[in-house]
Amino acid sequence: MTNLSLIALTGTLVLTGLLVAGMFASRAWFGWLEVRKLELASGRPQADEPVAAAGASGTDRIELADLKARIRKLEAIASGIDL
């Protein structure tokens, strides 16, 4: 093989690989969008929605407030502030 044909073959293989990867990424993206559409159409609260927006009970709110207080204490400890 000559240098020119080796370069042409390498370029063709690289472009083919990029095309296949792009097609795979595109198919995955559209599949993910379809899943999200189905999740939104179901009418159920999503996992990434805040607890209060999902109709949380009073117990859930108390637990959330307790967790936030613990996080504040841990952040204070990490920054060197003594409570």
Domain extent listing, the chain: 1-44, 56-83
3-state secondary structure of 47: coil
- Asked whether 2 and 8 are in contact (CB, 8 A), the reply is no
- Asked whether 64 and 54 are in contact (CB, 8 A), the reply is no
Tell me the pLDDT tens digit for each residue of 23-76: 999 999 999 999 999 988 887 766 665 555 555 567 788 888 889 999 998 888
- Asked whether 46 and 39 are in contact (CB, 8 A), the reply is yes
Helix boundaries (H) for the chain: 3-42, 58-79
Note if the pTM is more than 0.75. Answer: no
Of the chain, the end-to-end C-alpha distance in Å amounts to: 75
